[in-house]
Homo-oligomer: A and B are copies of this chain.
Amino acid sequence: MAQFAKVMGHPVRLYILQKLVKKNACCYSGNLINEISISRSTLSQHLKELKYSGLIEGEIEGPYIKYCLNKENWAKVKMLFEKVFDIYENYIED
């Protein structure tokens, strides 16, 4: 869980994740580069890290690479965080 939190702990990576969380959302490096002021190589590194962590996956689509959420792993992360937050919630309610 700390690993996942760490990956989410960078504004660029969190931005990308938040985009991809939406239904069937996907993004492209060349697309993101217009929204974020960062060099292409740096963006590429962040995408690589997100991919390596298992939170997203990339698929070649013509000359582009289409990135989207890895739904299975995202569900896992969601559960890990919710477990921690729910412990708190269960205790606070009395």
Contacts and interface: CB of A to CB of B under 8 A. Distances in A.
Given A2-B14, A6-B10, A8-B2, A78 B85 contact: yes
B85 A81 contact: yes
Nearest to A14: B2
Interface in A1-59: 1-3, 5-11, 13-14, 17-18, 21-24
Query: What is the oligomeric copy number?
Result: 2
Which of A3, A9, A89, A91 has the most C-beta atoms of chain B within 10 angstroms of its own C-beta?
Answer: A9
A26 B5 CA distance: 23
Given A18-B84, A92-B23, A9 B11 contact: no
The 6 residue pairs across chains A and B that have the minimum distance between CB atoms: A6-B9, A23-B91, A5-B8, A5-B9, A21-B88, A9-B9
